Amino acid sequence: MNTYPPLNTLRAFEAAARLESFSAAASELFVTHGAVSKQIKQLEQWLGVPLFIRSGGKVKLSEAGWRYLIQIQDGLDLIANATSQLLQPNHQRRLSINATPTLALHWLLPRLSTFRQQFPELELHLLTSDRDIRRLDDPFDIAIRRGPGDWPGHLAKPFLKEWELPLCSPQLLDSKPIRTPSDLGQHTLLYADTRPTSWQRWLTLAGVAELKPTASMHFDSFALALQAAINGLGVVLGPIPMANSLLDNAQLLAPLASPLLAVRDYCWIAPRNASSDPGIAAFCDWLEYEGKKKK
């Protein structure tokens, strides 16, 4: 007969491991730091294995703790989903989607109406974040990130290819034309902290690796850098096909047709038990279908 450790110790361990902090886990679970520490110690004694390395008031998962986290997360997700469906049998199935902000705004949202038409019984909860999926505060059914990545305990598959090309506003281009890559030296280049090496890689590919722009501006997110380009503050290295809608309505222009800098594909990521959930499978299939379209 199988035996199981106390469920409250597993909840404390999962939260502390995911957040890499006993204090943060205590806040999430509405208990004290001491209670989390006690529950994890109880679990370690029950298993006979140290799950954390404790040093200088900080905690870090041991190798055994990392393996254990990957294995129990699926089980905890199954319990949560089964409980939710049992308590709300007549409610819509809710899918939590966690996507990067720029992709959500410029690619996902304009297409979501087609998914809603096909699956009106599914309620979508869309969250945006650039954080690693292992550091997210909220659970998700499907995440969208660049890949491939290190996502143990999850299924993942690429669905959207992307290239980068200089983009700017029509007004900026009217005042200072860009006919060759060297002309970018007369402009302000817009950088995003989330894509710190993109410009240098593109300039190298274009044969002007030593180009010095008039000025540069830096933003903590790519969404801000893209908006700055729309507002005429400079030239951004923008994503194709994600920015196609901005090009179609002439908010941005692509003065140079090449070179196209290939970047990592976007992937859908779902817990390993997702194959048993028809809602998750439907959304992932839809992402793949939309990713193959020209627009």
Q: Is the separation of the CB atoms in 137 and 20 below 8 Å?
A: no
Q: Is the separation of the CB atoms in 198 and 215 below 8 Å?
A: no
Q: What is the pLDDT of residue 44?
A: 92
Q: What is the pLDDT of residue 2?
A: 59
Q: What is the CB neighbour count within 10 angstroms for residue 109?
A: 13
CATH code for the domain defined by 7-86: 1.10.10.10
Q: What is the pLDDT of residue 151?
A: 85
* Angstrom distance (rounded) from CA 191 to CA 214: 14
All CATH 3.40.190.290 domain ranges of the chain, comma separated, are 92-295
Q: What is the pLDDT of residue 84?
A: 64
Residue 144 DSSP code: E
Helix (H) or strand (E) holding 190: strand 188-192
Q: Is the separation of the CB atoms in 164 and 237 below 8 Å?
A: yes
Residue 253 DSSP code: B
Name the token pair of 260.
Answer: 């196209």
CATH code for the domain defined by 92-295: 3.40.190.290
pLDDT in single tens digits along all 295 residues of the chain: 457 888 889 889 988 888 888 998 899 888 999 999 999 999 999 999 999 998 877 888 999 988 888 888 777 777 776 676 666 555 567 889 999 988 998 899 989 999 999 998 888 999 998 888 877 777 889 999 988 888 888 889 999 998 999 999 999 999 999 999 999 999 999 999 888 889 999 999 999 999 999 999 999 888 899 999 999 999 999 888 888 888 988 999 999 988 998 888 999 999 887 767 888 999 999 999 999 876 5
Q: Model's pTM, two decimal places? A: 0.66
All CATH 1.10.10.10 domain ranges of the chain, comma separated, are 7-86
